[in-house]
Chain A
């Protein structure tokens, strides 16, 4: 079985983002960039499936600027076998990403594509589902458990109010949620080894995909700020304040 894992380079999740004063976007200059945390979970899951013997090859793909190669190297150091960089300096929306990934899938013929449920920059939560639709494949989003057996994927999903299990024919799409696993740190020997693993370079045009944006950004602004209220001395004062505010 072969697994494809798309990975995205985003602002590191520990960095507090700053909105640019001209409201054109958030400031990406000199900011630490990392692999999208949900994509790390996807890579980890693919590596675990390989360690269990359910998967033979893991291909990672990133769509982005030259520096996205670092993100691919991180995935290779975690245990992926080879990478594909679809190089573009444009901002590529989920729909165009899904179209490019469809092209990659048609070339690579994976049995499973594992994606993060969303990227922590635009929080769209679309790419996996869109790819599934374009391929007419079944999907299981927000996975907390993935079992591969007899050409079927049995996936437990985190839904509002609890958990739901689906059985999917393969090939299939899975998107990962937080509790699926805890991604490993790549060891130094594996980081060295990853430098020798192959990364192919492609362009969106190689897959016949036009990346022009459908959504134009009118502005990006700071969210409304909440003012700090007052400190109360003790529980009695808290209760009386809440009562007078009508909150109890």
Chain B
């Protein structure tokens, strides 16, 4: 048996989600090859070869792969699947975007966002925003799977797999990259951060969000998150959103500041190791999942906490 893992990266560094996907592929079983499709992504291919448990790295280069355009990724991956029993990709925006195209072309029903594996045909995945866990058995000959990063530990590094350069379809493709606005930040990335500080609607304005949440996060070396209510109110950008419709996080410690704890938010952070909630409403549902709850006015408690650290 052999599994192809699709690497997520930005042509300079290999994203941690790839290591987690390798762990999931190991649970599935068989030889594991990693596909690195990119532009000038040699360093990423080298890095992929260092992941424990990888047999070899397939390295494909081309303009259309710089941003891993879905049409190009489909054209590259589908013919490779003759040699594999399964393809695993992280359930990042890259994996979510590309993999269903591959599945449709292989006439396979994809299994999205898996949180567990039982053997080679049975998978666990959250449905209804994590309010239920469904176990499904696939009857398809090949499996197309995307992997929820917070459910698997990252594979270690110590491997020395060889890198094989492969040809990649060059197109032309019917979509073209125009531009990208990536938020530049010295802070850790939200989904892989060890600490996360999230603010909710109780902050009342973007100014207060920036004045209270950001310094606390800076002091902790934490990523900044927000509830959907805070994002919808314009206090924080959409990519800060933690929840079923935003990012799924599971840090060592999660601070929920002025967040009531709607189901959709809880679905995005309830796997955090330690949850701290600060809210002046004693009845807020967030306290039902928090390890440490402080019933207090956040406008006093947060600066005090920032000073105390």
Nearest opposing residue in chain B for A154, CB measure:
B178
* In the complex, per-residue mask of B259-288: 1 if CB is within 8 Å of any chain A CB, else 0: 000010000001001111000000000011
- Contacting A at CB under 8 A, from B233-283, are 238-239, 244-245, 252-253, 263, 270, 273-276
Distance to closest chain B CB from A122 (angstroms): 5
**Stretch of A44-52, A71-79, A188-196, A239-247 lying at the B interface:** A239-247
| Chain A 1-25 interface mask (CB, 8 Å, partner B; 1/0) | 0000000000100001101000000
Contact B103 A216 (CB under 8 A): no
Cβ contacts under 8 Å, B97 to chain A: 129, 139, 141-142
A11-B96 contact in complex given A214-B108, A220-B134, A238-B276, C-beta closer than 8 Å = no
Q: How far is the CA of A234 from the CA of B304 in the complex (A)?
A: 10
Q: In the docked arrangement, what's the CA distance between A226 and B288, Å?
A: 8
A125-B131 contact given A223-B126, A228-B290, CB 8 Å threshold: no
Q: Hey, which chain A residues are within 8 Å of B296, CB to CB?
A: 234-235
Q: Which residues of A from 198 to 248 have beta carbons under 8 Å from B?
A: 213-223, 226, 228-232, 234-236, 238-239, 241-242, 245, 247-248
Whole-angstrom CA separation of A102 from B295 in the bound complex: 54
The residue in chain B whose Cβ has the minimal distance to the Cβ of A228 is: B288
Q: Which of B33-41, B43-51, B179-187 binds A?
A: B179-187
Report yes or no: B136 in contact with A228, Cβ–Cβ below 8 A: no
On whether A215 and B137 interact (CB within 8 A), knowing A141-B96, A165-B178, the answer reads yes
Q: Could you say which residues of chain A place their CB within 8 Å of the CB of B138?
A: 214-215
- Are the CB atoms of A214 and B140 closer together than 8 Å? yes
CA distance A93 to B110 in the complex (A): 10
Docked Cα-Cα span, A172 to B175, in Å, equals 9
The stretch of A58-66, A106-114, A130-138 in contact with B is: A130-138
| Chain B, range 125-142, C-beta contacts under 8 Å to A | 125-140
Q: Specify which chain B residues have a CB less than 8 angstroms from the CB of A167 in the assembled complex.
A: 175-176, 178
Say yes or no: A242-B239 contact (C-beta < 8 A), given A133-B104, A215-B139: no
Cα–Cα, bound, A149→B239 (Å): 28
Please indicate the chain B residues that have their CB under 8 angstroms from the CB of A218 in the complex. Answer: 122, 135-137
> Secondary structure of the B side of the interface?
mixed
**Chain A residues bordering chain B, tally (CB within 8 A):** 75
**Interface Cβ pair total, 8 Å cutoff:** 235
Secondary structure of the A contact surface, majority rule? mixed
Nearest opposing residue in chain A for B182, CB measure: A162
Per-position binary interface string of chain A over residues 25-54, scored 1 when its CB falls under 8 Å from any chain B CB and 0 otherwise? 010000000000000000000000000000
CA gap between A245 and B291 in the complex, in Å: 11
Q: Closest approach, in angstroms, between the C-beta of A20 and any C-beta of chain B? A: 10
Per the bound structure, the CA–CA distance linking A65 and B134 in Å amounts to 23
Smallest CB gap from A93: residue in B: B109
Which residues of chain B come closer than 8 Å to A140, judged between CB atoms? 175
CB <8 Å contact, A221 and B107 = no
A98 part of interface (Cβ distance < 8 Å): yes
A241 touches which one: B131, B189, B292, B309 (CB < 8 A)?
Answer: B292
What's the nearest-Cβ distance from chain B to residue A158, in Å? Answer: 6
Asked whether B293 lies within 8 Å of A220 as measured between CB atoms, the reply is no
* Whole-angstrom CA separation of A200 from B201 in the bound complex: 44
Q: How far is the CB of B146 from chain A (nearest CB, A)?
A: 8
Interface centre among A127, A129, A140, A218 (most CB of B within 10 A): A129
A133 and B174 CA atoms in complex are apart in Å by: 12
Q: Cβ of A169: which chain B residues have Cβ within 8 Å of it?
A: 174-175
Pick from A16, A128, A142, A221: contact of B93, CB below 8 A: A142
B-side interface residues, number (CB < 8 Å):
84
Interface residues of A in 83-114 (CB under 8 A from B): 93-95, 98
> Any chain A CB within 8 A of the CB of B211?
no
Q: How far is the CB of A174 from chain B (nearest CB, A)?
A: 11
Q: A217 CA to B111 CA in the complex, in Å?
A: 12
**Chain A: minimal CB distance from B134 (Å):** 5
**A178 at interface, CB cutoff 8 A:** yes
Chain B residues contacting A228 (CB-CB under 8 Å) are: 287-290, 293
| Shortest CB distance B291–A (Å) | 4
Cβ of B150 under 8 Å from chain A: no
Cβ–Cβ < 8 Å partners of A216 in chain B: 136-137, 139
In the bound complex, do residue A158 and residue B238 qualify as a contact, i.e. CB atoms below 8 Å apart?
A: yes
- A168 engages B104 (CB within 8 Å): no
User: Quick check: B101 and A132 within 8 Å, CB to CB?
Assistant: yes
Chain A residues within 8 Å of B291, by CB = 229-230, 245
Contact B183 A217 (CB under 8 A): no
Q: Which residues of B contact A (CB under 8 A)?
A: 67, 69-71, 74, 92-94, 96-105, 107-113, 122, 125-140, 173-183, 189, 191, 220, 228, 238-239, 244-245, 252-253, 263, 270, 273-276, 287-296, 301, 304-305, 308-309
Point out residues on A near B: beta carbons under 8 Å.
Answer: 11, 16-17, 19, 26, 93-95, 98, 120-134, 137-142, 144, 154, 157-169, 172, 178-179, 213-223, 226, 228-232, 234-236, 238-239, 241-242, 245, 247-248
The 4 closest A-B CB pairs, nearest first, are A129-B100, A229-B291, A214-B109, A130-B104
What 9 additional pairs, Cβ within 8 angstroms, besides A94-B109, A229-B292? Answer: A16-B131, A133-B101, A139-B101, A157-B93, A168-B176, A218-B137, A219-B134, A222-B133, A245-B291
